[in-house]
Each structure stands twice: as structure tokens, then as C-alpha cells.
Structure 1
Amino acid sequence: MKKKTILVRLLALLLLTPLASRADEGMWLPLLLKQLNESDMQKRGMKLSAEDIYSINRTSLKDAIVLFGGGCTGEMISGEGLLLTNHHCGYGQIQSHSSVQKDYLTNGFWAMNRSEELPNPGLTATFIVRMEDVTAQVLKDIPAGLPEAEREKKVKANIEAIQKAAVQGTHYDAQIKPFFYGNEYYMYITETFRDVRLVGAPPSSIGKFGGDTDNWMWPRHTGDFALFRVYAGPDNKPAAYAAENKPYVPKHFLPISLSPIKESDFTMVFGFPGRTTEYLPSYAVKEIYEVSNPAKIAIRETKLNILDKHMKASDAVRIQYAAKYASISNYHKKWIGENRGLKKLDAVGKKEELEKQFTAWVNASPDRQAKYGTVLTEFQKNYNSLNGITLSRDYFIEAVLGVELLNYAQAYVNFVDLVKNKAPQADIEKQLKNLGNYAGFFKNYNVAADKEVFAALLSMYRKDVPTQFQPAYFTSTVNKKYKGNLKAYAEDVYSKSFMTSPEKVKTALNQISATNIKVIEKDPAYLLARAFTENYRTKIQPTYTVATDANTLNNRLFVAGLREMQTDKKFYPDANSTLRVAYGQVSGYEPQDGVRYKYYTTLEGVMEKADPDNVDFQVHPKLAELYKNKDYGDYGWNGEMPVAFIATNHTTGGNSGSPVINANGELMGTNFDRAWESTMSDIMYDPERVRNIIVASNYTLFIIDKFAGASHLIKEMKIVKETPTDSRLMIQPSPQVPAKDKKKEKKTKTKIKAKAA
């Protein structure tokens, strides 16, 4: 009996023992590297210190990293403002400068001097000045147990006050974001430059080689990079675009290594990962796997097939829809791979097992029962309440708003709402002015393609969304007037709506005013868009919002409980578009039985894939000639021209364009994708399968120099052929640090020590 009791206790102890953090998992806050990661990173081969990576007392690697636009990362690679990111991150800008006559998408673009560099209105490059833990200030005077809506209102007020005080009297911006579902808050002080010009981009046959066929796949042979330049005013500070602006002189830029990359080499990704959800309960993962992903995959596949047909039939349409198609396709394929990975990992089962351990831990203490006892049952109740709601929401976003005409009509729905609700005249006039900015929409719009999308996607909506969640106007119109014929409905809407051409819009706007909205209210596209919008607002959004708010509170408690239970585990917060560090190593992998991938690809693989009849695999004649002559300059390795390599870094969307940095603080490549088997890492990391895909710096420089002949750009860079003995020579101290920032650094370090204790 005694032996049995001991065995039971040992088994319980084993169940509750936290699993060690899985190798290479994590998106870590640069501010906390000293406390959490420095020792491990150095054991793996890193020769830098945490201070070399993130510091506000002196120049550090963080001073070379930028948030590029709203959703990618870039890095400074010269002392003259030269910025490197992905071709697909700059694709919208490249497309905006392209036409049938100047097809930079197909032919590439290279500015051979500064006067040829192309401005990009609205494009920004944002640097991080410093980070600060502001949890105590944000949660000050907020009692526990406060209803979520009231809590959020107080949190928002505190955040606004803290942000305002932090940047008062400066040209900086401040942003505070929640971490661990609101258990912690960190503030980012940023400096944003608004004059960012296109410098160079390879042709799509290099920058998109493999296209949709190879997207999310390994082996990969894509030169996915583009060059921009950040410009500043005469004081080296941000300034609006002006011809006389000067290239920005960064505090730090990354030297570029040409050393051969070996398996097991240390790698560090420094960038702005967009969104992960590593701590979701099993109910949420099941909903994603069984409901959301299958619906979104089917909708996007239908739309992609239609757009592909129209793009192949017309070069003008191809250019119009190039960026849109790439964007739609990207996550379509990602969701397919994510579901495959979740199934392979038995993610739902693993989550359920963790929840069993959590329940046992909670039940072992009355205090824990009082605090965490209802968390899992509340999750179950909330997700059950979303039955039919989540699917309807996904269809509204992907199918209804996936029709460009209905998406565009939303602006008119909002305008009519302002008028009918008697909003301030200034707000009405502002929205009316916005309606006048229609040229951008029609520049990249094709009526025939969108009309076919309308009929196809709304047919899917009608079939798949539960009838009780569909708008009555839509169902009655389709069933009674058009006898279920969505093609006939599309023909009628597109022929009668004024929103299908710039000329009709111009005529309509001449009649529309703050007191005259009749022309809008009788438009068939407006009527349908309003029906869908009101249906969403009344039948879908309220239930979804209530469940989401409740789950936010539950997630906060659940994660707090997991951190309390697993005391030996290092927790990292989910990605939320804030600056993070991920580290790992160069490594091949075995994605499935009998398949083994090596860790790098070469130009030889490009030639093996070459197919002149397949747009995804067409090879530029000059690239073929360079390969034939083995004319690789200084950029080859042992007679080979490396193209891409893979590593075990934990990355996600937003890490596109992130620098991949070696043990010495030098650029070894630019992150641009994940292997298909890795896409489930947004929800659950698996060290055996997760691999990020990187275009090798050698290939980037080879294309710039030998292919494009833009050697003037190479001369700007610091090329490292042999690593210096003391790698920290790469990080030079900044000449001066404002006293205010020094105080902030000291104050933050004190907080970190207190939290660690």
C-alpha cells in the first residue's frame, strides 16, 4: 500500500513538472535578454552580449532594425540610409511604380544614382528608441475582478496618459501594448521616417522565383529582397518628402558577412513578428482547425482561381492585381500548411493534456481553485456560444468583403450613417472628401473579374452560412427576384451601380451632399453592402464581442496560472508586432518519413527548376549566363552560388525582411518565409519541423553586383570576408546619449531586477 501511494505521488509530480522550453522556441523581448536568454545564446555560440543587441546607453543592433511600412521588417545596411527588406514587402511599392510601359515587376528596377530613387507616399520606416516596462503604471488603481469592459476603459485612459507624458516635447511617438493577455504592459518609444525611396528590386523571375508553387515550401530558390533608402531632413531627423532631403545616417548598420554558412551555425532573427497565439486553449485550436481555416481556405481558393484566369488573359489586369493576388494567396497556402501541421502534431490533444495537468494543479489548492477554478469551464461555454457565429464572421470578412465592390461600398455606408446620425458637420465633410479619393481604388480594379468573384463568393456564402445568420434582404432578393441565380444578380448590380467606374462615381458625387444622399440609398451595391453590414452588427458582432471579451479575461487568468504552475519554464509573450529576438541554428530537417532536406540551396537548383513555359520558374537570360560561366565574383562558396538556407528560428508574419544575424553581429541573410510544415508554429512550436527560410546575403550581393551592375550600392556597404577576432568591434558606441534616456535605462533595469527577484 505504501509503495502504491509513493508511485501515485511520483506520477502526480511528473504530470505537474513543467516541460523545459523547447529548443529554439520563443520570440523574446530585447529588453529582457540579459535576464532570460543571454547565457543560453552564448552557449549556442553567440559572441555578443545582451547589451550589444539592445541598449539605450550606446549603439546596439536594435538601432539598425526598422518596422518597414505597417507589416514587415527592414534593416539598415549602410551608413547612407540604405535599407534591405524582402521583395514581397516592397511589392506594393514596386507595383505602384509599374505600368505596361515600365514593368518593374517583370523587369526589375535599379536606381543608378540618387536622383533616380523613387519616392513612396505613405511608406514609413520606424526605429525603436527604447522600451520600458510600464505594467505598474497601466494597472494602477485598477481593482481585481473589475468587469472586462470597465477594466479596459481604465487601462486605455492610463495608457493614453503615460504615452503622452513619455514623448512630450520630443518628435518621438509612444505605443503601449499588452503582453500575456494584459498581465504585463510595455511601452515602445519610436522614431518614424516618412521619406523612404525605392532603390532597387530584382525582376520577379528572381524576387518571386517559384511563385505560388514554391510559396511556404522548402527547398527554395528565391532572391526575395528589395532595397530602399531612408531620407531625413538637414538635422538627420524625420521629415516629409522633399527633393533636398539627405540620406539618413543611422546610429548603426549591419556589416554583411560573406563567410560560408555551416550547419549548426548560430542564427538570430531580429524583427517585428506580427501575431501568434501560443497559449490558446484546446477549444480555440479546435475551432481554428475544424471551422475557420477550412472556410477561409475554400473562399480564397475560389477567388484566386477567378483572378488567375483574368490576370493570364490581360497584362493590364496582371499588373493591377499582382500585389492583391500575392496577398490573398499567401495566407491561403499558409492556412493549408497550418492545418496539416496541427493534425500532424495532434495539437488539440496536446492542449487537452496540458489542461488536464492544469486542472490537477488547480484542484490541489483551495486558493488556486478560487482563482483559476472556472477558467476552463468558461472557455468551453464561450466557444460553444460561438457555434455558427465564427463561421458567419469569417464569411463576412473573407467572402462579403472579399468582393471589392461591396468592400468599396462600405465607405458609402459609413457616410450615410454619419448623415442619419447627425454627426458633426466636420466629420461628414471629412468623409465626403474621402469619398472623392476614388482614383486609387479604380487604378487597380477590374469590373469583369470582380463581378465573377461576386457571383462565386456570394454563392458560397448562401450555401455555407446558417440561414438564421444571413441578412433577410440578401436571401429574399436572391430567392425571389433572381430565383437563386447569383450570376444574374451580379449582372444587375454591376450594370446599375454607380460604384463600378470612376466616371459614374464622379457624376454621383456631384449630386451627393450632407443633405442629399438619395443617389446612394437607391444604389444596389450600397443596399447589399448595408444589408450585410447591419446583419453583421446585429446578429454576429454582439455575440462575438461578448465571447471575445470573456475569453480575453480567461486567457489572462489561464496564462497567469500556467506561469505560476510551470515555475521552471521561461515564458515569452505572443507576437504583437513589437520588436523581438528569436534565436536558433542553421539546420536541415526531415519533414516526413523518408525525406531529408539539406540546409541550403544553390543557383544550380534554380537552373534545375527552370521552365520557360511556367511563369513561376522562368529564368532571366543574364542569370543563366552568369551560372553557365560560374561568374560568381566574391560571393560564391567553393564554386557554388548559395541562394537560400534554413534555420530553427521561431518566426511569423511580420518577420518578413528581418535580418538573420550570425554569432558576430553580422548579416548572413534576410528572413522571408517558413517551410510549409512550420506554419502551425503560430499556435504550437515543433522543433523537429519548424524552419524559417532565408535568402543568403551572398546571393543578395551577387544579384546587386553581378546581375544588376549596381556596384555603387556594394561600395556603400561594409562587407566582411573574414570575421574579426573581437566581434564587438562591429558595435561602436554612440557619441552621445541624452540624459533623459539614461535615466529611463537605469529606471527600467531596476524594475527588471525587482521582477526577476
Structure 2
Amino acid sequence: MFKYLVIPAAVLCATSACADEGQWQPYQLPQLKSELKRIGIAIPAEKLADLSRHPMSAIVSLGGCSASFVSDAGLVVTNHHCAYGAIQRNSTPEHNYIANGFLAKTRDAELPGGPNTLVYVTDKVENVTSRVLKDIQPSMSGKARSDAVDKAIKALIAECESDKIYRCSVPAFHRGLEYYRIRQMMIRDVRLVYAPANSLGDFGGDIDNYEWPRHVGDYAFLRAYVGKDGRPADPSPDNVPYKSKDFLVVSAEGLKNGDPVLLAGYPGRTSRYKLPSEIRYARDAAYPAKAAEIQSDLDVIAAVTKDSEADAVRYASVVKSLNNVMKKTRGLMDGFARKDIAAIKDVQDAEFRAWYAKQPGGDKQLLAELDALIAADIALSDEEFGYGVATTSDLLKSGNTLYRLAQEGAKPDAEREAGYQQRDLTFIKARLNRLEQSYVGGVDQARFTAALQRYAKLPKSMHVSGLDALLPPLDAVPALYTQSQLGDTATRLSWIGKDAGAIAASNDAFLKLAVKIDGVTQSLKERRKELDGNLERVIPQYMAAVIAWKKSQGKPVYPDANSTLRVTYGTVSPYSPKDGITKGPFTTIEGIVEKNTGKAPFDAPQNLLDAIKAKRYGKFKDPILGTVPVDFLTSADTTGGNSGSAVMNKHGELIGLNFDSTYESITKDWYFDRDITRAIHLDIRYMLWVMSEVDHADNLLKEMTIKYPKR
């Protein structure tokens, strides 16, 4: 009925109401010429849409964070918190790079980022909707539909990955209305080059997370290495720096209030098109349960590691990640309490349903079927949450992975479950290897024991059918750890490639537990496939209707974020979080001195404080502020995954790194409020100033192309 996959330019931004909203696919940018011109972007929209041209060819993904090349020798700049895993991996109590920072003055001093540190260079995006859906029949069951889509996607990926330097994916857009095949060159030898001390790179810590004003130097440098033939290769001392096809010029010229910015990166997930019932479930049930679970887990880790610096270092990355998710989850809860987004969506939903009822030829059962499927999705999500709590142990997760890998390995590669094909083996090994740096038996045992206690207290709606009787009683948990060797990395990895029979016959306690609960695990997955297949049949019809409705109103139409390359834009802007309070768009280095207490997390390095007090501003002094800026705000539309995204001026030069949002903005994942939505960025002048005046990273300053102000 509704075929509006190509939206006319006049429709995308026919009113000023769409100002700064939208996480746009690059191919859509030529349709936004008037908007880009309105805010002052000088780069032609057609150039921004071309992934092979500057600046888009310099934008890369780290698989969860964003980054950009800043030299022709594979030098990558991103956030400190995005490189935290690599920093932690190389840290020991004797060489604590988290606390003290790290700088490689020469290439041979750069440290291995580890198997989980990867650089993805997107070079091709193509619409493959017709190929994904070609075998879909209306009469299919949900599972049959899901399997057919999965089969088509696997074939498209295999075709794309005929050259093994590429990693390809086929994500859905508009909740299954469209599918695009994304081709990325995956560089797997990535090394840590430079990271400031944690007291600078994470100044303010979790207290300041999502807050404004901020004074954090959230940056770090990595370098991509390839084989001597220029192709991605396994880590080796013989590898050479990747010759970046393009890189961003770093501009120290700065910005002022009202200046335009472009932001390019890989935003994770947004839910702008969710129904009111989905919002209420998230607000009233899912987020409170998630926050309580994370806090309980954090409390256990803190209690068990408080007397061991070595254990605390091992779990530093885990704790940092959990704290970040916790702060965002609480921010979402507070945001929902502050503004009734569900009520706003109720009005929009009622307007849409009234409009839809008047459309000729519309499926009158569509919305009733959608509502029923959403209710079923909510119920199943409760069980999936409970399953996640009950299987908190890293060793159990490892056992589950190994047994599933063994079972899938017996099938032809094309028939294996996604995530367990031959192409995934490297990632599975990396996951299993990662515990080498982030596992302690006593800590995992405490986490698992506490999680089982919490699971027992969850409402019955969150208990997975058949699981409870298979879980170990609390007094049996210690024996699981004494009777398992999965905590040993070599032993854990040695099970890769073994058949399912060998694992089933093992005396390893966690492998036995994984085998024991596998039937329930797979049943839960099968129920999810059936439901998702039905959702994928109904929601695209709904989204096509929503797009048509928005088109009739001249409102912006962009897909929810899904970890693919997107571009957003905005201006440097202050905001008013509440009546009588206005927060300016810049912070300065003097604010670091004001915040500094000498105790974590406000314990700035002494050499930084000395440089500030001596007013050694150099060429990085802002003429309006009269000092060196640290962080700044813009109205750009961002979310998780945008961390490390390049913030560029109107000429496409790097002037900042995205790293956060204001606390009041967190609910933008669900609803964009242009009056208070602000993204927080590192001002590149602060990074350059620290590199020059504090850490003396002269080798990197010389390597980058830096455009200094003319004064």
C-alpha cells in the first residue's frame, strides 16, 4: 500500500521544526542541501554523500565507538573511554597506564590493542531490500519468515566477503522496511599509541558522566597496521602502518557560539518510532529492573575487589562499562519522569491512527495485530531479562558459547546460526581470550551467587520456563568453580573445534551446566525467532504508513540509529535545563582548577594544574574566552556509539570529538526535544594544548596536519 522508500527533498525538511534533528544516512544528504546551507556548512552535500571522498572516507568505526584517521599512516583519534579496553589490557600494578597514561614516542613502542580492538573502514553501502525479501510469502509462520530473511542475509554477506579483507553486514532500517548491505574493511592489528592519565582522560569520572559543565580530556590515539601488501593481516611485528586513503585536517582555529558543525560516526540504537506501549514498558518496568540489576552487580564487584588492587585493575573496564550504562539508564528514568514522552506519543499515535483509518485500501487489522505482537514482545523480553540475570557468570557464558559453537560447527557453514559461522570464529576467540584480562574466579563466583539470589526473587513473569529446576542451588556454586578449568585461558580456547559429544561428555562443571540448560536456551531463542518473524512482517507495513503520514505533514523521515554510518549537524548552542538557569556552550581549563579536590575523580595531574596556573595558553588561547577551552555543547543529534565521532567545522576539519550528552538529553533516544537536547564534545584545542604543554606528545603533533589560527 505505502511505497515511500525515497522521500522527496522538499518533504525531508519542509519546516524549520526539523532543525538539527536526524541521524541521516549519507546518501540522504543531497536531499538536505537547504538545511546544510541554512546553518552554514560549506561542503557540497554530494561530496558528503560519497564514502570514497573527504571527509567521509576518514570516518571509521571501532565496533561500538566511532573514530577518524588524522594522518596518512593509520593514526586514529577517538575517545579515551573507547580505548579503555586497550589501556586496561596493557596495564599492570607495575605499569599502570590507566593511572599514569601512556605515550609511545616511536612506532616500535606502540602497544597491542588486543583482539577486541579493531578498526572498520566503510567503503560501500547498497540497498538490498528486494534480495532479502525475495522469497518471503505472506503465509509464512514467524519462524519460517525469520529463517528465510536470515538465509538471504547470510548469502548476501558471503557474497560480499569473498575477499576476506572485508567484514559485511545487512542491517534493517525503519524496523525492517529496508535492508542495506554494508561493506567494511576490517583492520585487526590495532595498537595503542597515546592515552592521557585517567585523571585527565576521565576527569570527573562517573559523577560528571552525562553532566554539564564538563572538564574532561576524553581522547586517545590508536594506530591501524596491515601487512606489507597493504591488506589487513593478523597482528605481527612485520606489519606496517595502514596508508590511510584520507585523513582529517585538525583545526585549532576553534568555534564560537552559533557556529555550525557536522558530526559523523556510528550511533548505536535509538527508538524514535516506538509505540506508546513500548515507551511505558521501558519507563515503568524495563529500565527500573535494569538499573537495579546493574547496581547490584556493581556492589558485588566493589565488595569483592576492594582489598585487591590487582583484582580491581582486572575489573576496571567491566566496572567502567557498567557504570556508564547505569548512568544512562537512570538518566532515561529521570528524563521520563521530567517529561511525559509517552503522553506526547499518545497524541501522535492517536493522530496517526485517525489518519490511517481514512486511507483507502489500508489493512484495517494491521494496528490491532501490531498491538498484540508488541504485547507479546514485552512479555518475552521479561523472560529474556530473567535469563540474563540467571546466567551472569562469565564461565557459564563461555560454556554456553563453546557448546553452541560445537553444535553449529557440525552443520554446513551457511546453515549455522548467525554468530557461529566460520567468519565469526575470530570474534569468538577474542571474546574467550578477553577474560585473560578481566576475570578472577572469586569475583565471578560472587557475582554468580548474588545473581542467582536476585533471579529467585524476580517476578514469575521473568522466570524462563523450565530453567529454574536446572540452575544450581546456592550451596553448589563453589564446587562449580573448583570443578571447572574454564577460568584458564589455554583450557578455554582448547575447546574450540571440539565436537558437541566431547563437550557433553566433559567433566568440567561449567560445560556440564551449559549442556544441561541448552535446551531451555534454544527454546527461548526459537520463541524469539517466531515473534521477531511476525514483527518483521507487521512493523514494516506500519513504518511505511508512518512515513507516508509524516510525509503528508512535511516532517523529517530518517531511520532509527542501528550502528551504521550516519551524519548529523547542528550549531554550538547553550541551553536552559530549567527555569532561570542557562548553561553556556564552553568550559575552560580554569574550571579544572576550580573542580580539583586532589581526590578521585577530581584529581587532575599536577603537571596539568601547573600549566593552567602558569597560564601557558600558547597558540590555543581562545580570543573570546581568553583562555583554553576544554569541552563544548552543540545541538547535534547523537546517541551511544557516537562516542569518538568526529565533530567537524563547516569545511570538514576536525574541531572536536563527541563523547557524551547532557543529562537532560538522554531521553532523545526516544524523543528529540530541540530546546534541551545537547551533545557534549571535547574541544580539539584542549587536546592539542595537553599534547603540547603537558604530555609533550611532539611526535604526534608533527605527524598530524594541524591548522593553527592566524592572529
Q: Which among 166, 175, 181 is matched to residue 181 of structure 1?
A: 175
- 2:113 and 2:192 in contact (8 A); partners too: yes
Q: What is the letter of the counterpart of residue 42 of structure 1?
A: K
Show CA shifts across 1:605-663 (max 9, x none). 222221223x2111111111111111122222243121111111111121111100111
Distance 2:671 2:213 in 1: 23
The answer to whether the aligner puts 1:556 opposite 2:543 as a matched pair is no
Give runs of aligned pairs for residues 301-316 of structure 1, distance below 5 A: 301-316=295-310
Structure 1 residue 505: Cα displacement: 5.8
- 2:382 and 2:462 in contact (8 A); partners too: no
The answer to whether the aligner puts 1:109 opposite 2:102 as a matched pair is yes
Q: Find the counterpart in structure 2 of residue 47 from structure 1.
A: 42
Give runs of aligned pairs for residues 605-684 of structure 1, distance below 5 A: 605-613=591-599, 615-638=600-623, 639-684=626-671
Secondary structure of the residue aligned to 2:619 is: coil
- 2:267 and 2:566 in contact (8 A); partners too: yes
Distance 1:94 1:619 in 2: 19
The answer to whether the aligner puts 1:25 opposite 2:21 as a matched pair is yes
Q: 1:506 to 1:362 in 2, by over 3 A?
A: closer
Give runs of aligned pairs for residues 461-480 of structure 1, distance below 5 A: 461-466=455-460, 469-470=463-464, 474=468
- 1:400 and 1:407 in contact (8 A); partners too: no
Query: More deviation in 405-414 or 104-113?
Result: 405-414
- 1:120 and 1:198 in contact (8 A); partners too: yes
Secondary structure of the residue aligned to 2:264 is: strand
Show CA shifts across 1:471-516 (max 9, x none). 66745987xxx6xxx4x4544544x432475399689989x98766
Q: 1:61 to 1:171 in 2, by over 3 A?
A: same
Q: Find the counterpart in structure 2 of residue 407 from structure 1.
A: 397
Q: 1:358 to 1:19 in 2, by over 3 A?
A: farther
Q: 1:677 to 1:375 in 2, by over 3 A?
A: farther
Structure 1 residue 230: Cα displacement: 1.9
The answer to whether the aligner puts 1:351 opposite 2:345 as a matched pair is yes
Q: CA RMSD in A?
A: 3.5
Q: 1:652 to 1:515 in 2, by over 3 A?
A: closer
Secondary structure of the residue aligned to 1:269 is: strand
Q: 1:504 to 1:340 in 2, by over 3 A?
A: same
Q: What is the letter of the counterpart of residue 38 of structure 2?
A: K
Query: More deviation in 77-86 or 543-552?
Result: 543-552
Show CA shifts across 1:39-86 (max 9, x none). 211111111111332326x63211111112x21111111222211011
- 1:660 and 1:668 in contact (8 A); partners too: yes
TM-score between both structures, scaled by the size of structure 1: 0.82
Show CA shifts across 1:505-531 (max 9, x none). 689989x987665774573x4555555
Q: What is the letter of the counterpart of residue 25 of structure 1?
A: E
Give runs of aligned pairs for residues 231-310 of structure 1, distance below 5 A: 231-310=225-304
- 1:405 and 1:499 in contact (8 A); partners too: no
Structure 1 residue 38: Cα displacement: 2.0
Secondary structure of the residue aligned to 2:601 is: helix
Q: Find the counterpart in structure 2 of residue 729 from structure 1.
A: none
Distance 1:165 1:516 in 2: 33
Distance 1:500 1:583 in 2: 48
Structure 1 residue 666: Cα displacement: 0.9
- 2:143 and 2:531 in contact (8 A); partners too: no
The answer to whether the aligner puts 1:689 opposite 2:676 as a matched pair is yes
Percent of residue pairs identical: 31
- 2:470 and 2:517 in contact (8 A); partners too: no
Equivalent pairs, count: 685
Distance 2:399 2:159 in 1: 40
Q: Find the counterpart in structure 2 of residue 603 from structure 1.
A: 589
Distance 2:354 2:492 in 1: 66
Distance 1:661 1:633 in 2: 23
Structure 1 residue 109: Cα displacement: 0.5
- 2:484 and 2:508 in contact (8 A); partners too: no
Q: Find the counterpart in structure 1 of residue 688 from structure 2.
A: 701
Show CA shifts across 1:226-265 (max 9, x none). 1011223445443443434332232221111222321111
Give runs of aligned pairs for residues 119-518 of structure 1, distance below 5 A: 119-122=112-115, 123-140=117-134, 142=136, 148-160=142-154, 162=156, 172-368=166-362, 370=363, 373-386=364-377, 388-397=379-388, 399-411=389-401, 413-414=403-404, 440-466=434-460, 469-470=463-464, 474=468, 486=474, 488-494=475-481, 496-499=482-485, 501-502=487-488
* Unaligned residue ranges in structure 1 (runs of 5+): 1-16, 725-757
Distance 2:53 2:495 in 1: 53
Q: 1:262 to 1:557 in 2, by over 3 A?
A: same
Q: What is the letter of the counterpart of residue 613 of structure 2?
A: K
- 2:386 and 2:464 in contact (8 A); partners too: no
Structure 1 residue 697: Cα displacement: 0.3
Q: Which among 707, 710, 714 is matched to residue 701 of structure 2?
A: 714
Give runs of aligned pairs for residues 23-102 of structure 1, distance below 5 A: 23-35=19-31, 37-55=32-50, 59-68=53-62, 70-102=63-95
Distance 1:678 1:102 in 2: 38
Q: Which among 527, 538, 556 is matched to residue 570 of structure 1?
A: 556
Distance 2:137 2:332 in 1: 39
Query: More deviation in 136-145 or 126-135?
Result: 136-145
Structure 1 residue 584: Cα displacement: 0.8
* Unaligned residue ranges in structure 2 (runs of 5+): 1-12
Distance 1:160 1:460 in 2: 38
- 1:498 and 1:505 in contact (8 A); partners too: no
Structure 1 residue 219: Cα displacement: 1.4
Show CA shifts across 1:377-406 (max 9, x none). 223222333565322211222x22323233
Distance 2:36 2:494 in 1: 62
Q: 1:521 to 1:386 in 2, by over 3 A?
A: farther
Q: What is the letter of the counterpart of residue 530 of structure 2?
A: V
Distance 2:318 2:352 in 1: 44
Q: 1:176 to 1:202 in 2, by over 3 A?
A: same
Distance 2:75 2:125 in 1: 25
Q: Find the counterpart in structure 1 of residue 10 from structure 2.
A: none
Structure 1 residue 131: Cα displacement: 2.5
Distance 2:601 2:516 in 1: 41
Query: More deviation in 43-52 or 199-208?
Result: 43-52
Show CA shifts across 1:140-170 (max 9, x none). 4656675554444454555455555567679
Q: 1:439 to 1:588 in 2, by over 3 A?
A: closer
Q: Find the counterpart in structure 2 of residue 591 from structure 1.
A: 577
Show CA shifts across 1:544-569 (max 9, x none). 44333322333211110011122222
TM-score between both structures, scaled by the size of structure 2: 0.87
Secondary structure of the residue aligned to 2:644 is: coil
Distance 1:244 1:186 in 2: 36
- 1:674 and 1:693 in contact (8 A); partners too: yes
Q: 1:606 to 1:145 in 2, by over 3 A?
A: farther
Q: Find the counterpart in structure 2 of residue 750 from structure 1.
A: none
